[in-house]
Structure formats: structure tokens, C-alpha cells
Chain A
Amino acid sequence: MTARITTRRQFLTLVSGALVAGGAAAQLEPNIQALRAAALEAAIRKITGGKPVRAGKVKLQVPPLVDNGNTVPLSVSVQSPMTAADHVAAIHVLTEKNPQPYVVSAYLGPRAGRASITTRARIADTGKVIAIAQLSDGSFWSDTVAVVVTLSACLEDGLI
């Protein structure tokens, strides 16, 4: 939804038939992009306390090309026996380009049986979605998916 603010002026060009690659049309102003990248990094650091995050164990499923950025189905599953001694304590989902980086933080434990959550997110702009799992041994694992978000062709412009 917030992508509309930056790209509405692109609308007439798009309708005239010019094909514009999703990424190029939705490019954020460089300063805003830098601020959001910094916010994402800060959010990850807050989650991990500065500990390293390794790619693996986590599977983030989100469509690579979304129908609409307002409602993007996503699910995260983590390989884990989910026992008292070895389980997933939390799953965090973040985005690279949203105005604030957090989507959801889910707190699990051995009673979950499986480390798996499904939800629907808002993804404002083409970029990465990141899932970070915190294990009971204090380690952090992640998976990242690059998602392309396009705008609806015809918008109401506030006129319902």
C-alpha cells in the first residue's frame, strides 16, 4: 500500500503500454532506501544480540511474484526435533524495503511439535523477505527470498 505514494505518478506511463520492469518502477529514493537498510540491520542485531546468523535449516516460502503487495501469503518452517533439549524458540520475519522492518515474531517451544507458521504479510516494494529462527542452543539461522511486487494497474485513487 505505501508503494502507491512513491509511484502513483508512474501510473499514466504504465497504462500507455510501456512495459516497466517491476523493480525499476518501484525504485525507492536512495536516501530512504539507505535508512530502511539500516533499520533492517538494526532490527536483526536486536534479535540476535550481534551473534552470527547462518543460512540454513529455515525454509521461507513466499511467492517470488506477488499478486498484490497488500496480502502476501508466507510460511516459515524450520528443521528441528522440537524436543525440550533442541527446539526452535522463535521465528522472526522481516522485510528489506517496508517502512519498518518487522513483520511478525512467533514464539514457539517444544509444545509446538513442529516449527512452522503461516501468515499473510504486507510487502511494500520489491526486495528481500528474511526469516530468522532462534534455536534453543542460542544459535540463529535464516532463509531469504527475493520478492517482486507490482502495483495494481487500475487504482481507485480514493474514490470508492
Chain B
Amino acid sequence: MARVVVNVPASAKRGEVIEIRTLAGHAMETGFRRTQTGELIPRDIITLLVCTYNGVEVFRAELHPAMAANPLISFTTVATESGTLEFKWTGDNGYAATQSASITVV
């Protein structure tokens, strides 16, 4: 089912600073919670988000258990040229998700 959402403007002027919003569907189990019987629930979080713009990394974020569930990360980038922004999330227990978005730069 649906796991990640990215919000990238479809077009922008060259040199414009655009806002990118990303959201990943993930419980972000901290590793600090306990069950009703006292056992520690193991950590299971997204640990990394990388954004590339036509293959060049423009943003990277390291996530820790203190990130809320369904982590939202918004950041900015300069609209340099038309092309594709690729987003890749990785995390514990082999979690991986990708999404891409096209942008037309005029």
C-alpha cells in the first residue's frame, strides 16, 4: 500500500528556490517502548533520506528515533534545470522506498 509521498512543484523559473515536502509512511518504532509485560520493543526506523537532482545529491537527512511517526521532512533546493528529482529512504530491517518527481525549469 501507499508508503511515500513527495510534493515538488511541476515547474519553476531557473534559479528559483523551490520547497520540497516529503512524507514517508512508517511507524518509527523508537526502541525505547516496552510491551505490557515489560519487554523492550526493538527499534525499527527510517534512518536516511537522500534526494538527488538529475543524479546529483542535493539533500541528505539522517533520521533518529526522535523523529515522529510518518516522518515529514521539508527542505529547499534551487531549480537549476529540467529533469528528475529522485528520493530514496532507507532504514532498519532492510526498509527501502523510492519516489521520483519531474520538474520543468523555464
Contacts and interface: CB of A to CB of B under 8 A. Distances in A.
Contact of A100 (B53, B60, B66, B68): B66
B59 interface: yes
A2 B33 contact: yes
A111 B61 contact: no
A103 B69 contact: no
Contact of B68 (A71, A75, A112): A71
A157 to B, nearest CB: 9
Interface in A108-143: 108-109, 111-114, 116-123
Q: How large is the interface on B (under 10, 10 to 19, 20 to 34, 35 or more residues)?
A: 20 to 34
A152 to B, nearest CB: 15
Interface of A: 1-2, 5, 70-72, 75, 95, 98-100, 102-109, 111-114, 116-123, 158
Given A100-B65, A106-B75, 19 more contacts: A2-B32, A75-B74, A99-B65, A104-B73, A106-B73, A107-B62, A111-B58, A112-B58, A112-B75, A112-B77, A112-B78, A113-B17, A113-B76, A116-B75, A119-B71, A120-B67, A120-B72, A121-B67, A158-B36
25 contacts: A2-B30, A5-B34, A71-B68, A100-B66, A102-B64, A103-B64, A104-B62, A106-B59, A106-B60, A106-B61, A106-B75, A109-B58, A111-B77, A111-B80, A112-B58, A113-B77, A114-B17, A117-B61, A118-B72, A119-B71, A120-B72, A121-B67, A122-B66, A122-B67, A123-B66
